[in-house]
Amino acid sequence: MLAAVDWHILWQRIFHPDHVFVLALWRTIYISVCAQALGVLLGLIGALMRMSRFFPLRLLSGAYVLIFRGTPLIVQIFFVYFGANLLFGFTLIPRTVDFGLFQMDGAAFAGIVALGLNEGAYMREIIRAGIDAVDRGQMEAAKSLGMPYPMAMRRIVLPQATRFIIPPLGNEFNSMMKNSSLIFFIGVTELFGDAEIRYSTSFKPVEYFLAVAFWYLVLTTVWSLIQAQIERKLAVSERGDELSFRERVAAAWLPAAMRIRGTP
């Protein structure tokens, strides 16, 4: 069976990646990072809406999670990119999106939006659980000092909730990198798309898919190292070392960041 594998192709794909591949790898990374950032933002807004005293906001937040957690991601990707056009006959996301300073492939943009919307639904639950995990006395103490709710949330509760949010956030990002392969479906040549295109012209699925699996494994492994580093630093800080929160977050990132850049 194994004799059927063309080891040369596999070897080339892993040890001599060409520039097309590197571009695809880069797409996977930046799309995942942007989509995750969007997801965190939407999750935060959703979590705050969920805790609002104003019923319509709670309803909206609930509906958002219901829909985006309850339907397949690939369907969401399809509707974000083509939905407006097919349903209402207008183009929501053009072929090329112009941000003034730079331009972006419309499909990649749609991919980020769709992945971010989906991620936001999961992040809402994670962020809400993080906020719930902060002792209620913190909000009361802040209020008793005359802080209005938004200020108490921003300055007192959310910084403490971060500690509970970061570990599951790391897992979410791991999933995000792999889920981003689904946007190949709307024509973004990211890591998986690159493999798919090559396989379809060479009819060597085993080689190309094994190679792409290897590269996803590299991405997730690097990320889990960074994640472990961050969590270790945050755990140290819980024991009460004399660093400000901002310094601790910086310290948590710094060694990982230096390792990536290759500086000692």
Partner 1 sequence: MLHAEGVVKRFGRLEVLKGVSLEVKPREVVCVIGPSGSGKTTFIRCINHLEKIDAGRIEVNGHLIGYRERNGKLVEDTERNIARQRAEIGMVFQRFNLFPHKTALENVIEAPTHVRGVTKDQAARQGKALLERVGLADKFDTYPGKLSGGQQQRVAIARALAMNPALMLFDEPTSALDPEVIGEVLDVMKSLAIDMGTTMIVVTHEMGFAREAADRMVMMDDGRIIEEAPPAQFFDSPREERTKQFLSKIL
3 state SS of 71: coil
Closest approach of partner 1 to the CB of residue 34, in Å = 28
Choice between 108 and 142, CB closer to partner 1: 142
159, 81, 70: which is closest to 114 by C-alpha? 81
Distance of CA 88 to the CA centre of its chain: 30
Tokens of 147: 């802080």
> What's the min distance (Å) between Cβ of 35 and partner 1?
29
- Shortest distance (Å) from residue 137 CB to partner 1: 4
Please say which residue, 222 or 243, places its beta carbon nearer to partner 1. 243
Q: Taking a C-beta distance cutoff of 8 angstroms, is the pair 209, 163 a contact?
A: no
Q: CB-wise, 6 or 247, nearer to partner 1?
A: 247
Residue placing its CB nearer to partner 1 in the complex, 201 or 244: 244
Q: What tokens does 66 get?
A: 């219901």
Of 72, 162, 154, 75, the closest CA to residue 123 belongs to 162
Shortest spacing between CB 100 and partner 1, in angstroms = 35
Query: Is 12 or 160 the residue whose CB approaches partner 1 more closely?
Result: 160
Q: How far is the CB of 144 from partner 1 (least distance, A)?
A: 4
Min. distance of Cβ 143 from partner 1 in angstroms?
A: 6
Structure tokens at 170: 């790391």
- Nearest of 103, 87, 106 to residue 95 by alpha carbon: 106
Min dist CB 147 to partner 1, Å, is 6
Q: Amino acid identity, residue 127?
A: I
Q: Which is nearer to partner 1, 167 or 187 (CB)?
A: 167
Between residues 146 and 262, which has the closer beta carbon with respect to partner 1? 146
Query: Which residues contact partner 1 by CB under 8 A?
Result: 135, 137-138, 140-149, 151, 155-156, 159-160, 238-240, 242, 244-245
Compute the distance between CA of residue 167 and CA of residue 84 in angstroms, rounded to an integer. 36
Task: Name the DSSP letter for residue 104.
Answer: E
First to last CA, the chain: 45
Question: Helix 205-238 and helix 19-50: axis angle, to 10°?
Answer: 50
CA distance 258 to 104: 29
Is residue 251 classed exposed, middle or buried when 0-12, 13-18 and 19+ CB atoms within 10 A define those classes? middle
